[in-house]
Amino acid sequence: MWYVMQVRTGNEEETVSVIRQYAAGSGMGDCFLPKYEQKKKYAGAWHIVQALLFPGYVFVETERIEKFYMMLKQVPKLTKILGTGEKWTSIIDEDLRVLNKLLNGRRIVPMSAGYIEGDQVTIVEGPLKGLETVIRRIDRHKKTALVEMQMFGRQQEVQVGVEIVRKERGDKQWLLQT
């Protein structure tokens, strides 16, 4: 089961490293940071970079959350496992289904590619294919899309990488430079 832990924003990588040191060899589970790929232009060329999908959160995969939590009490970092009341709550199946569709085996959301025709977005490749209805906004210049999903008990918008390779308006078509 997957659980979510809230940590101080900006300290996610360091927190995961410390937790992994404490959990090494325990067999209690693993913690990770879901990321997404995005194209950025620097040094005159486009590069694929990775960014956190959920800043301020660390994900935990374990079947023994109580023991994992007791181990976390030894970690000298701000950690709080999300839940309801005093009970830890795993990510619900529907949220996990969407996350698993987006994430690859390395727990990264790869770039998607698509086109815009009028007001309609069509994704032709990548994890957003078939999920066009959850796209709320596309920033063609930053090559990102805001995707709305249910997570942490509320509607949340997350940013993922998408490249729009063509935009059509009526009888005119523009091929976009990448």
Domain that holds residue 120: 2-175
Would the pTM count as exceeding 0.75?
Answer: yes
Segment 128-167, tens digit of pLDDT = 999 999 999 999 999 999 999 887 777 889 999 999 988 7
Tally of domains in the chain: 1
Kindly list the distances between the CA atom of residue 12 and the CA atoms of 79, 124, 129, in Å, as whole numbers in the listed order: 10, 33, 29
Q: So what's the pLDDT on residue 5? A: 86
The token pair that represents 135 in the structure block: 């796209």
Segment 1-36, tens digit of pLDDT = 888 888 888 989 998 888 888 777 777 778 899 999
CATH number at residue 144: 3.30.70.940
